């Protein structure tokens, strides 16, 4: 605990020294020209045939689009185009069990009939550079083209239809309502240039409406009210505008009202707002609507780019996916998948709209997998894993809106649970904080599930802390973030019980393991510790003196977040001794390691814990083929600085789970689940940049496969926007834009001997904190450029350290396989659950050593580590470890 407390003090000093008590620009404001350069490489998904008109075609081949207000899947047909629409609040009731059950419903199936049955030279694409989908083909010597985009600022989908010959464009637009019956009613009517689709989903009494406005150039247009269609004949071109909505609102009453069909009482019918969306959009030309979309979309997407040296392939995306990882264009798919995750988050998480669920914002079913709910034991958090590191922080506002709506209900649960599990700590007036949910929908948060422990609430609070930590917006901290963290700590402080001098969760569960309702799982204890710690840091930044802060500080060292097992692992269960003796040793969830990722508890200042993480990851193996689990392992291995192992999980994910449209196949079927798409982006970001100990560390886990490359615009804690160019796995140039100012600690091998200047060539004063770390007091808006970094060859680590003899607790004889780079070796130990190592012997020559210590017979367990030391004094970053257990 002492190491973490030192880190805490250092972080607070850095935060305060950085002038963070001054006014800050809002985290949701645009970057005012300070974004990374726009990507110049074309990143696109493209195909030479339409998506099959089937559920399999939807999952595997359709093109996903979205603007928060709606999710779209475009099939690209020639005889008939199919456009499937999802609206995330159109949610059917519970009451069914099993994987596929009522939940999010399919809003609309929209068809455009062209009767083009003899097309040729067909292409369709989604261009990530501009967020526009396109279809193009020849029919009867006429070139037909379509463009589709979903505009967040204008709240509509826009479709542009063109023909190369005047008067050659004819079509019928016919929206339909899927899954009528089973409590869903509705009708489709057409009048003039507009089709209106409306109805009711009865369980929650959801009123829904979609409008489709057709604006042709030339030709004639007729509406059929009876059929609910609009037909355009002999036009030159046409534009179709689509707007959708329901009577859902972010309001606590939705979650506080027990009667399902009364939750939306008093909320207005969506007709007026949807009519307004289309009326406003119709006043603008196609070019104006496109410009609005591009201004919004590219402001977000263009902040970050990565280049791994790929060239744009000539094969279609389905061929590209099928050929991975053996194809010549593997690097292109790796670049594409990274940006695709950012693209999906831009589509599915926008302020004022519901956040992405298990399927993001895309669902074609009446009974989607797991009802398309929000799961808070990893899936929601993975959806937002890239939102800060991949420089999209304002997209978190979508989740903030949902949280603020359901938090009052969670306060009632908190009082219920304290009364049930620890009544002596109950505040009878209801000041018991809020408890974390497991399942959730836009309408309901069920009570506690033993599937996961109460650490889910702290995990939510950690996302809020990261929102501040990456943006350093102090008004955001005061108004939004701190209240969430403080009230979660309030609940935890009342919930934990003293068990032999340690404050433990009781009951406690490690997510989705079969052993449930135990005491003090590492999942809960780590999450409790992280939030208590972060709450105390935030309170000091804000100068708060809230009544329970002293208690939080007293409790912090008693939360016991890390226990080291006899295999050298991070324990998952407190009763566990050797790895795997409790629970599934190859489980998809790796919840005992959340302190290393996405948490900050385990970092480079806690090297013994990092080594224990490696043991746990190695023993967890790669046997789980679940998409999101593979994505999470990318980040875990990156955090322990093993780029090659992280990359192997990225390869497994792209080669084993990604469908032809890059949707993640959760576990076969295919069964689409969006979390791995988001998580893969976050994992790659962790390979390229880390800052969990508030030291900006570019290229911390670079795999051998990415020997040359560059990236621009990734975000580090402290609101530092970082770019890097490298060749032969060595940084040629680092660039840090300090958007807020404050103290920049920068770590990279030999950075202390590099050239550091401002963007315009000005000199920079910096403090050397070791050969690999410098500290700069930065100016807000200034960019710092690091070049001429001396090459640093890594020191090969020793291996296979073993305990050959234990002389009755007085001396241990060790031997190991030597390192070719070693001039000597250092020996370290970490006793019990210690976070760091202490040096016990240096300048060891040879590969055997007798380790003696006066306290050896008092030590029950310790980790011993041997590192190699090269003749120039540089030590291996890794080492060989073994566990000593007293006989």
> Checking phi first, is residue 601 left (phi over 0); if not, alpha (psi -120 to 50) or beta?
alpha
Pick the closest to residue 716 from 477, 534, 470, 474 (CA basis). Answer: 470
Angle at 754 between CA 753 and CA 758, to 5 degrees: 135
Strand residues in 60-180 grouped as ranges (E): 63-66, 71-74, 80-91, 104-113, 120-127, 132-139, 142-151, 156-163, 169-176
Using the structure block, give the residue that is written with the tokens 């603008």. Answer: 284
Per-residue confidence (pLDDT) for residue 16, from 0 to 100: 36
Q: Output the pLDDT for position 583.
A: 92
Kindly report, residue by residue over 385-441, the tens digit of the pLDDT.
999 999 999 999 999 999 999 999 999 999 999 999 999 999 999 999 999 999 999
246-301, pLDDT tens digit by residue? 999 999 999 999 999 999 999 999 999 999 999 999 999 999 999 999 999 999 99
Q: Are 688 and 675 in contact (CB under 8 A)?
A: no
Instruction: Give the pLDDT mean for 353-367.
Output: 97
- Secondary structure (3-state) at 840: strand
C-alpha angle 626/689/30, rounded to 5°? 100
d(CA 682, CA 629) in angstroms, rounded, equals 13
Q: What is the pLDDT of residue 327?
A: 77
Helix (H, G, I), strand (E, B) or coil at 396: helix
Compute the average pLDDT of residues 643-656: 97
Residue 757 confidence (pLDDT) above 80: yes
Q: How confident is the model at residue 14 (pLDDT cuts 50, 70, 90)?
A: very low
Q: Would you state the pLDDT for residue 38?
A: 41
809: pLDDT confidence band, cut at 50, 70 and 90?
low
Q: Are strands 497-499 and 838-844 parallel, antiparallel or unpaired?
A: unpaired
Mean pLDDT taken over the chain: 94
Q: Given this model, what pLDDT does residue 9 score?
A: 40
97 pLDDT more than 90: no
Residue 193 tokens read as: 């240039």
Tokens of 36: 């990374």
Angle 188-69-80 (CA atoms, 0-180°, nearest 5)? 50
pLDDT at 599 over 60: yes
pLDDT band at 810 (very low <50, low <70, confident <90, very high): confident
Q: What is the mean pLDDT of residues 194-209?
A: 98
Q: Which residues contact 846 (CB under 8 A, 6 or more apart)?
A: none
- Three-state DSSP state, 270: coil
* CA distances (Å), origin 859, targets 182, 407, 560, 809, 829: 66, 47, 19, 9, 11
- Structure confidence at residue 806 as a pLDDT band (50, 70, 90): confident
- 51-73 pLDDT tens trace: 999 999 999 999 999 999 999 99
What is the rounded average pLDDT of the residues 185-210? Answer: 98
Burial class (CB in 10 A: 0-12, 13-18, 19+), 4: buried
Query: Look-up: residue for tokens 């007091």?
Result: 777
Q: Is the pLDDT of residue 361 over 90?
A: yes
Strand partners for 240: 159, 214
Look at strands 229-235 and 220-224 and give their pairing.
antiparallel
- Specify the pLDDT at position 808: 64
Q: What is the pLDDT of residue 795?
A: 97
pLDDT of the residue at 281: 98
Tens digits of per-residue pLDDT, 456-497?
999 999 999 999 999 999 999 999 999 999 999 999 999 999
Residue 4 has pLDDT above 50, yes or no: no
Q: Would you call 689 exposed, middle or buried from its count of C-beta atoms within 10 A (0-12, 13-18, 19+)? A: buried
**Burial zone of 764 (CB within 10 Å; 0-12 exposed, 13-18 middle, 19+ buried):** middle
Does residue 846 contact residue 826 with C-beta atoms inside 8 Å? Answer: no
Nearest to 702 by CA among 712, 693, 689, 716: 689
Give pTM, 2 decimals.
0.95
Q: Which two tokens stand for residue 742?
A: 């404050």
Are 563 and 522 in contact, with CB atoms under 8 Å apart? yes
Give backbone dihedrals phi and psi of 537, rounded to 5 degrees, phi first.
-65, -45
Q: Which residues contact 283 (CB under 8 A, 6 or more apart)?
A: none
Burial of 559 (0-12, 13-18, 19+ CB in 10 A): buried
The answer on pLDDT for 24 being more than 70 is no
pLDDT given for residue 36 in this prediction: 39
Give SS3 for 653: helix
Of 396, 466, 529, which is closest to residue 717 (Cα–Cα)?
A: 466
- State in Å, rounded, how far the first CA of the chain is from the last one: 27
Q: Average pLDDT in the 695-700 region? A: 98
């Amino acid at each position: 605990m002492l190491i973490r407390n030192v880190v805490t003090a250092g972080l607070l000093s850095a935060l305060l020294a950085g002038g963070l008590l001054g006014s800050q620009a809002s985290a949701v404001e645009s970057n005012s020209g300070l974004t990374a350069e726009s990507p110049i490489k074309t990143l696109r998904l493209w195909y030479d045939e339409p998506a099959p008109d089937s559920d399999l075609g939807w999952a595997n081949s359709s093109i996903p689009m979205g603007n928060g207000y709606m999710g779209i899947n475009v099939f690209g047909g020639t005889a008939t185009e199919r456009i499937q629409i999802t609206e995330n609040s159109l949610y059917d009731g519970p009451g069914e069990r099993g994987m596929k059950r009522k939940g999010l419903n399919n809003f609309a199936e929209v068809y455009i009939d062209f009767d083009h049955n003899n097309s040729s030279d067909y292409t369709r694409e989604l261009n990530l550079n501009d967020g526009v989908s396109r279809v193009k083909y020849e029919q009867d010597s006429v070139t037909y083209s379509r463009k589709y985009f979903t505009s967040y600022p204008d709240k509509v989908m826009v479709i542009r239809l063109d023909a190369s010959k005047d008067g050659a464009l004819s079509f019928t637009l016919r929206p339909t309502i899927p899954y009528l019956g089973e409590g869903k009613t509705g009708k489709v009517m057409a009048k003039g240039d507009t089709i209106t689709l409306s109805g009711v989903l009865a369980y929650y009494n959801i009123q829904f409406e979609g409008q489709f406005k057709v604006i042709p150039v030339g030709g004639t247009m007729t509406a059929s009210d009876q059929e609910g269609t609009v037909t355009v004949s002999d036009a030159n071109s046409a534009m179709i505008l689509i707007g959708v909505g329901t009577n859902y609102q972010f309001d606590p009453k939705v979650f506080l009202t027990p009667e399902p069909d009364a939750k939306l009482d008093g909320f207005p019918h969506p007709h007026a707002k949807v009519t307004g969306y289309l009326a406003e959009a119709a006043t603008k030309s196609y070019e104006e609507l496109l410009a609005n979309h591009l201004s919004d979309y590219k402001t977000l997407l263009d902040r970050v780019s990565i280049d791994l040296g790929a060239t744009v392939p000539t094969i279609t995306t389905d061929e590209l996916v099928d050929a991975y990882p053996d194809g010549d264009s593997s690097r292109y798919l790796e670049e594409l998948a990274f940006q695709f995750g950012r693209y999906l988050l831009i589509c599915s998480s926008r302020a004022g709209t519901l956040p992405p669920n298990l399927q993001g914002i895309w669902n074609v079913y009446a009974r989607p997998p797991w009802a398309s709910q929000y799961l808070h034991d990893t899936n929601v958090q993975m959806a937002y894993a890239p939102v800060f590191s991949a420089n999209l922080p304002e997209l978190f506002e979508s989740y903030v809106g949902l949280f603020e709506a359901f938090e009052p209900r969670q306060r009632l649960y908190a009082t219920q649970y304290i009364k049930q599990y620890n009544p002596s700590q109950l505040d009878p007036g209801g000041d018991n904080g809020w408890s974390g949910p497991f399942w959730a929908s836009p309408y309901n948060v069920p009570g506690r599930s033993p599937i996961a422990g109460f650490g889910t609430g702290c995990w939510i609070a950690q996302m809020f802390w990261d929102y501040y930590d990456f943006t350093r917006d102090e008004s955001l901290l005061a108004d939004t973030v701190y209240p969430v963290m403080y009230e979660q700590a309030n609940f935890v402080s009342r919930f934990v019980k003293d068990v032999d001098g340690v404050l433990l969760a009781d009951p406690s569960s490690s997510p989705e393991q079969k052993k449930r309702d135990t005491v003090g799982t590492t999942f809960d204890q780590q999450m409790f510790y992280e939030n208590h710690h972060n709450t105390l840091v935030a309170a000091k930044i804000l100068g708060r003196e809230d009544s329970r802060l002293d208690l939080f500080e007293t409790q912090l060292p008693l939360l016991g977040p890390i226990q080291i097992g006899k295999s050298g692992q991070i324990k998952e269960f407190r009763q566990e001794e050797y790895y795997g003796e409790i629970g599934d040793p190859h489980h998809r969830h790796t919840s005992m390691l959340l302190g290393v990722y996405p948490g900050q508890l385990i970092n480079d200042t806690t090297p013994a814990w990092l080594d224990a993480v490696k043991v746990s990851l190695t023993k967890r193996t790669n046997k789980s083929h679940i998409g999101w689990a593979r994505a999470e392992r990318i980040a875990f291995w990156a955090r322990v600085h093993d780029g090659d192992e992280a990359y192997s999980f990225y390869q497994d994910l792209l080669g084993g789970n990604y469908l032809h449209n890059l949707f993640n196949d959760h576990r076969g079927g295919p069964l689409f689940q969006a979390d791995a798409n988001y998580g893969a982006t976050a994992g790659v970001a962790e390979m390229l940049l880390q800052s969990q100990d508030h030291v900006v560390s570019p290229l911390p886990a670079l795999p051998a496969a990415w020997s040359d490359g560059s990236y621009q615009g990734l975000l580090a804690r402290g609101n530092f926007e970082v770019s890097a160019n490298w060749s032969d796995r060595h940084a040629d140039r680092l660039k840090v834009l300090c958007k807020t100012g404050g103290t920049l600690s920068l770590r990279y091998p030999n950075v202390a001997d590099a050239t550091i200047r401002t963007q315009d060539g000005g000199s920079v004063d910096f403090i050397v904190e070791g050969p690999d770390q410098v500290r700069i007091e930065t100016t807000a808006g200034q960019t710092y450029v690091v070049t001429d970094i001396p090459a640093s060859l890594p020191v090969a680590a020793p291996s296979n350290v073993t305990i050959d003899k234990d002389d009755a607790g007085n001396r241990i004889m060790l031997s190991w396989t030597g390192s070719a780079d070693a001039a000597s070796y250092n020996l370290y130990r970490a006793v019990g659950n210690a976070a760091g190592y202490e040096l016990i012997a240096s300048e060891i020559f040879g590969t055997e050593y007798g380790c003696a210590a006066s306290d050896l017979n008092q030590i029950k367990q310790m980790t011993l580590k041997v590192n190699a030391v090269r003749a120039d004094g540089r030590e291996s970053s890794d080492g060989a470890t073994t566990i000593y257990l007293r006989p």
